[in-house]
Chains A and B, each alone.
Chain A
């Protein structure tokens, strides 16, 4: 089966202006959302207590809220969790007392609301939450810098910077969506952001690699515009890009649908990140190569020089091995 039988390159770079404007606006909106609305931080980062309770039949949140209003858990946030018979209670406060039994207290307070089972009690103290926040930020920075260095080493600085801009764009927009849809920002969402970094760079590198190859194949002496080379490379990798993104998307979609409430945040962020990761490789990373003044002729000269050196080296080695030197 084949989907893409296109032989003529699409003029992707011709669409750059409108598409780029879109990216720019969405990025700015994301920043705005993150700055003003912010995130609903989970207890991993904010500290607090979460109690997950499962009833034997569907329950009314309002009834439970009313029941708890006369107890010490009056201020608890109550939400449905995954199914109508399961709820979570969110408490701001934490306790350092090792022997204090929150499960028992909640269980006593809920007494009379039906048959239930306390399935999970998570408590994160404020100090640990702070630490997880710093560690998360460090993890993001370290991977971005690591990727920057790797790409700069394997390609050149312009590729590296363009790739990083695309990465920041993806993470920013994903984070913006997390904020917009009130998805709880917990450790799994952070993990998703880091995985998106990995996948997005994946897509970008596949295209960059193709660009390098196309430049390599361009015949000496022909006048070639970088935008034409990008168009050709993106077109050649298009079927791969779409196929991979589609498979990954469906895999994550199954996680999102069947993976359970606990990895909901993770799969939500991944869904958005995968789409934008592929999009940004084409429409964000590649145009930056043009704007950074990447010159095909110069690149070819460098490649030719490298080849010449390699040939020289091979010749020397051959001579050496034959004992002529």
Chain B
């Protein structure tokens, strides 16, 4: 009994005479690291960093929006014109024909005594050039200022869209600038076409609120006037929002606009229909009060995005600076509009440059398809490696599994997105990781055939393969980096997994397997079973 016990003990010691080395320690640390950081991704738990699925896999809406920046400059001109008009009226300065023409603001000063005071005022307007001759003023925006306004319009659009989407309550919306002048919007939470439509309307709505004076003198003739005739009086013809056949003739320069809005929320009118109540800031209230005080008996048009929602008659001076927009809104429409008004108007209209929307069922199908491809591919490789290389094939397989876990972990740490081409990238990485082990194993076999000892063959095999492996992987990495730099969307995702895969596989397939061999070295040497370990039969010499 004791004899057998002792024998068993020595057997045990022999078979476990595994030496730890720095490579295997690193591999173990990496594996633990990989497991810890990849588990949240596999279980898709809410805690911890995880790999987010791309829109092509989880479904959602991807948009690339452009901004019509010229409109921003035009709207700035209008706002300047409206400022001058208000200044003149407030200070009893007589000006005539104030309007926006060919990217300039023009007006005529009737009394030259007021020239100094108007010149002073014009000087305070930033980034403009003023030409004045015989009381006729032409004010234009400098090219630098125009450029600045265009950039501002893009940033403002991003900010506004982000605000709107945040208030809309979708999960994890992305709004980011892409390139110089494009806006990337990604909405993973969108599931139905109706939701998509609502989101797109919310985003694109200009939400430009204007309060405009109705031209009472000519209002009767509105149906006979052409656009250009109206313009010659400094007027504009606008449609009614609820009854498009009704036209309104209003002053082209608004009394005030939505930039002076402080709040907008949904309320209900006496018939219990949803309306939007808005309030103005101090400056807006002042202008509003001044105007209504002077215009009792006239009408005030409430204009939203170029359509007249109501044009009530002013009964008395309205102080306090609040108003109401009533349309035939549903509650959700009123809600979206209030969000849009609160988040501010878009300085310039946006347009669609690219749109990709994927339904959740397609995403699920894509995941299923790529997982199937992945599993089949991996199974094939494993089967082949083990039949061809024996135990070293198993070692390569272990390295490959750690490799996949590590790729997921690294991607999760960087918050990378996994797209469908990204999945293809991982499948390819599996192929490449195995290539490294094929090269190494072939080198080991070569040395074994030459008659080198097992230890010498393993060491030499790694040594000989190293420069090839580094060169081969680095050149592929160059292609991956180029893809990342110049690719967009899903292609970037592919480049990321490919690059991460190359780097990680260099670690697991080269260093990791070397470590495992080291650990098992004395065991392999003792067994001397070259066929079982490396899959070759040596021809006995002599």
Q: Which residues of A contact B (CB under 8 A)?
A: 1-2, 52, 54, 94-99, 101, 103-104, 107, 117-125, 127-128, 132, 135-136, 138-140, 142-143, 146-147, 150-151, 154, 187-188, 190-191, 194-195, 197-199, 201-202, 205-206, 209-210, 213, 236-237, 239-240, 243-244, 246-248, 250-252, 254-255, 257-260, 262-263, 266-267, 270
Contact = CB atoms under 8 A, between A and B. Distances in A.
B376 interface: yes
B421 interface: yes
Contact of A120 (B358, B467, B494): B358
B353 A128 contact: yes
The 4 closest A-B pairs by CB, nearest first: A98-B204, A198-B476, A260-B369, A139-B486
A1 B387 contact: yes
Nearest to A134: B486
A101 to B, nearest CB: 5
A150 B475 contact: yes
A244 B474 contact: no
Given A135-B488, A250-B380, A260 B476 contact: no
Contacts of A239: 442
B388 A259 contact: no
Given A119-B362, A120-B359, A262-B366, A143 B482 contact: yes
B203 A202 contact: no
Contacts of B356: 120-123
Contact of B483 (A97, A191, A257): A191
A244 B438 contact: yes
A107 B489 CA distance: 27
Contacts of B196: 101, 103
A251 B481 CA distance: 23
Contact of A198 (B358, B388, B475): B475
A244 B370 contact: no
Max count, chain A CB within 10 A of own CB: residue among B65, B420, B439, B468: B468
Given A118-B193, A247-B380, 18 more contacts: A99-B197, A99-B200, A117-B361, A119-B358, A139-B487, A150-B475, A187-B488, A198-B475, A202-B472, A202-B476, A205-B468, A248-B432, A250-B380, A252-B427, A254-B373, A255-B373, A258-B376, A267-B424
B201 interface: yes
Interface magnitude class on chain B:
35 or more
Max count, chain A CB within 10 A of own CB: residue among B428, B471, B495, B537: B471
Please report whether the interface of chain A is mostly helix, strand, loop or mixed according to DSSP.
helix
A208 B474 CA distance: 15
B474 A119 contact: no
B503 to A, nearest CB: 14
B139 interface: no
B233 interface: no
Max count, chain A CB within 10 A of own CB: residue among B380, B474, B483: B483
Contacts of A1: 387-389, 535
B485 interface: yes
Interface string B324-360: 0000000000000000000000000011111111110
A146 B478 contact: yes
Contacts of B357: 103, 120-122
A221 to B, nearest CB: 23
Contacts of B203: 98
Contacts of B431: 244, 247-248, 251-252
B370 A99 contact: no
A255 B56 CA distance: 17
B446 interface: yes
A190 B491 contact: yes
30 contacts: A98-B352, A99-B204, A101-B197, A119-B358, A119-B359, A120-B358, A121-B356, A125-B352, A128-B354, A139-B483, A143-B478, A146-B478, A147-B475, A150-B475, A150-B478, A188-B494, A194-B479, A198-B475, A198-B477, A198-B478, A202-B435, A202-B475, A210-B468, A236-B446, A250-B380, A254-B373, A254-B376, A254-B377, A254-B427, A263-B420
B472 A146 contact: no
Contacts of A237: 442
Contact of A251 (B350, B351, B366, B381): B381
Contacts of A259: 369-370, 373, 424
Interface string B478-509: 11111101111111001100100000000000
Contact of B474 (A118, A150, A194): A150
Contact of A191 (B373, B387, B494): B494
Nearest to B204: A98
B225 to A, nearest CB: 29
Interface in B417-468: 420-421, 424, 427-428, 430-432, 434-435, 438-439, 442, 445-446, 464, 467-468
B428 A195 contact: yes
Contacts of A209: 467-468, 471
Contacts of B536: 2
Nearest to B368: A260
A195 B357 CA distance: 27
Interface in B198-218: 200-201, 203-204
Given A96-B353, A255-B427, A247 B435 contact: yes
B147 interface: no
Nearest to A213: B464
Contacts of A199: 476
Contacts of B438: 240, 243-244, 247
A122 to B, nearest CB: 5
B87 interface: no
Contact of A197 (B354, B366, B479): B479
B355 to A, nearest CB: 4
A56 B245 CA distance: 44
A119 B125 CA distance: 52
A325 B488 CA distance: 58
Interface in B157-197: 193, 196-197
B365 interface: yes
B384 interface: yes
A34 to B, nearest CB: 21
